[in-house]
Amino acid sequence: PADPGPGAPGGLFAWLRGRCLGRGAAVDPARDTFGAMTGLYGAIQPADSVSLSTRTHGAVFNLEYSPDGSVLTVACEQTEVLLFDPISSKHIKTLSEAHEDCVNNIRFLDNRLFATCSDDTTIALWDLRKLNTKVCTLHGHTSWVKNIEYDTNTRLLVTSGFDGNVIIWDTNRCTEDGCPHKKFFHTRFLMRMRLTPDCSKMLISTSSGYLLILHDLDLNKSLEVGSYPILRARRTTSSSDITSSGSSGPRAVGSPCHQNNSGPLSEKTLSRPSQREGGSPRNSLEVLTPEVPGERDRGNCITSLQLHPKGWATLLRCSSNTDDQEWTCVYEFQEGAPVRPVSPRCSLRLTHCIEEANVGRGYIKELCFSPDGRMISSPHGFGIRLLGFDAHCSELVDCLPREASPLREIRSLYSHNDVVLTTKFSPTHCQIASGCLSGRVSLYQPKF
């Protein structure tokens, strides 16, 4: 029979596109499970809350589930790490002196090992089977450590801090005295750092409103100042202005790259490296100024940075320099090298955005994607909002707009008496956790 055509349901092009997105003829059980879970989020309610004395642990800065969903860890302001059973809402253990200062971030390496980082400039490794003592403490940063990532392929731990350094730790050769480490990258005004799910890119956000992308990532190669190839910097675009020239470099004030002390990157610097055939050179750096609605002529700070679980998009929480406005923005990855070596590259396109409640000025609010990437949980005042790309919680690739569109509010949940600072989806259950400034941890799940 004749092919029904590229645009018709069941057409050859539709089948090929679905295959590129990982959709075969058979139903993916994981995809089907996450689809059912997404439907349940519409009926989600505050379930059980755990409220502990703020005199001991202070504000909740970060939440992290173990990969199997059996443990929920809580990073606290007053040196503590709390562990809960998220199914029974039972408190398991308190690591009362996990660090000597605020605990900022927690990252699981597997179902038993996890890492914590702190304002005391250290990273600690822990084993769930033996929580009375640390596996080891890692020293290398000179200022507050804010972010931890982990490359499961190479078993390299990647951390970043307010000293502007991204440091690589070789956990394959870990001892009681620590791990071998090296400085991988340095930039000014560093806020957050993330690896894409396949570890092919590193994204770094800055307090000066820049987003840095290292393409074709090679963590085994340290990047000294001036040694990395730079792709031409430009502002990200929405569909409505994707044809604008954008040929000028980023604004000089607060430029994050250390090519010189001030001023935009020079044309000579931008065109220095030769590209590998079929793509960019390893660790090529792209510098972007993400477009933020209503902020085109004003500076902004990228405070939170997350990545779509399938690597399709990045999720940013941005605030104006005057801290009077906040936005949640989604940017789709546009793959491929520039058509011409001299043409601007822009890997991100603004697809969705929404204005946030301007509550709790000065505090960073950590948002997240659901495990299937269909929904976003965002701190919103004294609660959280569940946001979707459309009213049906469709996948991003199935509802990409021609122009930047507003995120749809699916549901709002309020169970805190203070500003919510962080929220996290369970990787295995239909459950969401949130933590607030006064130290309360709340769990949300469907009630039947």
Containing 405, the helix (H) or strand (E) segment is strand 405-406
Report the pLDDT value the prediction gives residue 299, as an integer from 0 to 100: 55
Answer for the pair 73, 64: CB distance below 8 angstroms, yes or no: yes
Report the pLDDT value the prediction gives residue 315, as an integer from 0 to 100: 96
The answer for residues whose C-beta is within 8 angstroms of residue 206's C-beta and 6 or more apart is 187, 188, 189, 190, 191, 212, 254, 256, 302
Report the pLDDT value the prediction gives residue 317, as an integer from 0 to 100: 92
DSSP tag of 409: E
DSSP string for residues in 271-313:
T-SPPPTTSPPTTEEEEEE---TT-TTS-EEEEEEEE-TTSSE
Higher pLDDT, 423 or 175: 423
Q: What is the mean pLDDT of residues 297-310?
A: 82
DSSP string for residues in 60-77:
EEEEEE-TTSS-EEEEES
Q: Is the dihedral angle over the CA atoms 182, 186, 192, 193 positive or is it negative?
A: negative
Mean pLDDT lowest among 217-231, 248-262, 325-339, 428-442: 248-262
Q: With a cut of 90, say whether residue 377 has pLDDT above it.
A: yes
Q: With a cut of 90, say whether residue 344 has pLDDT above it.
A: no
- CA dist 196 and 327 (Å) reads 22
Angle at CA of residue 316, ends 119 and 162, nearest 5°:
25
Report the pLDDT value the prediction gives residue 419, as an integer from 0 to 100: 94
Q: What is the mean pLDDT of residues 203-228?
A: 81
Mean pLDDT lowest among 106-115, 188-197, 282-291, 310-319: 282-291
Residue 38's pLDDT band, with cuts at 50, 70 and 90, is: low
**Count of CB atoms within 10 A of residue 415's CB?**
19
Report the pLDDT value the prediction gives residue 121, as an integer from 0 to 100: 95
In this structure, what token pair is assigned to residue 83?
């562990």
User: What's the predicted TM-score (pTM) here?
Assistant: 0.80
DSSP string for residues in 367-388:
-EE-TTSSEEEEEETTEEEEEE
Mean pLDDT of the chain: 79
DSSP tag of 240: G
- CA dist 8 and 196 (Å) reads 33
Answer for the pair 326, 403: CB distance below 8 angstroms, yes or no: no
**Count of CB atoms within 10 A of residue 297's CB?**
5
Residue 300's pLDDT band, with cuts at 50, 70 and 90, is: confident
Higher pLDDT, 85 or 299: 85
Q: Which residues of 173-190 are buried (b: 16+ CB within 10 A; e: fewer)?
A: ebeeebbebeebbbbebb
Q: What is the mean pLDDT of residues 97-118?
A: 94
Beta-bridge partner residues of 368: 377
Answer for the pair 115, 157: CB distance below 8 angstroms, yes or no: yes
Classified as helix, coil or strand, 422 is: strand
Q: Which residue ranges make up each domain of the chain?
A: 297-447
DSSP tag of 221: S
Answer for the pair 350, 211: CB distance below 8 angstroms, yes or no: no
Q: With a cut of 90, say whether residue 106 has pLDDT above it.
A: yes
Q: What confidence tens digit (pLDDT) does each residue in 394-403 have? A: 889 888 898 8
In this structure, what token pair is assigned to residue 307?
């990545």
- CA dist 280 and 332 (Å) reads 19
Report the pLDDT value the prediction gives residue 282, as an integer from 0 to 100: 83
In this structure, what token pair is assigned to residue 283?
């660790």
Report the pLDDT value the prediction gives residue 177, as an integer from 0 to 100: 79
Report the pLDDT value the prediction gives residue 337, as an integer from 0 to 100: 52
Residue 410 corresponds to which amino acid? I
Q: With a cut of 90, say whether residue 343 has pLDDT above it.
A: no
Specify the CATH number for 297-447; select among 3.90.1150.200, 2.130.10.10, 3.30.1130.10, 3.30.460.20: 2.130.10.10
Residue 349 corresponds to which amino acid? R
DSSP tag of 224: -
In this structure, what token pair is assigned to residue 250?
């980023």
Report the pLDDT value the prediction gives residue 278, as an integer from 0 to 100: 46
Strand positions, DSSP E, 26-89: 44-51, 60-65, 72-76, 81-85
The answer for residues whose C-beta is within 8 angstroms of residue 142's C-beta and 6 or more apart is 121, 161, 163, 165
In this structure, what token pair is assigned to residue 178?
């620590």
- CA dist 229 and 259 (Å) reads 11
Question: How many distinct helices (H) and strands (E) make up the chain?
Answer: 4, 31
In 3D space, the residue among 345, 340, 334, 347 whose CA is nearest the CA of residue 247 turns out to be 345
Higher pLDDT, 218 or 2: 218
**At residue 240, what are phi and psi to the nearest 5 degrees?**
-70, -25
Answer for the pair 421, 366: CB distance below 8 angstroms, yes or no: yes
Mean pLDDT lowest among 36-40, 128-132, 318-322, 342-346: 342-346
Residue 184's pLDDT band, with cuts at 50, 70 and 90, is: very high
Higher pLDDT, 238 or 206: 206
Q: With a cut of 70, say whether residue 90 has pLDDT above it.
A: yes
Q: What is the mean pLDDT of residues 128-143?
A: 93
In 3D space, the residue among 436, 292, 304 whose CA is nearest the CA of residue 360 turns out to be 436
Containing 231, the helix (H) or strand (E) segment is strand 230-235
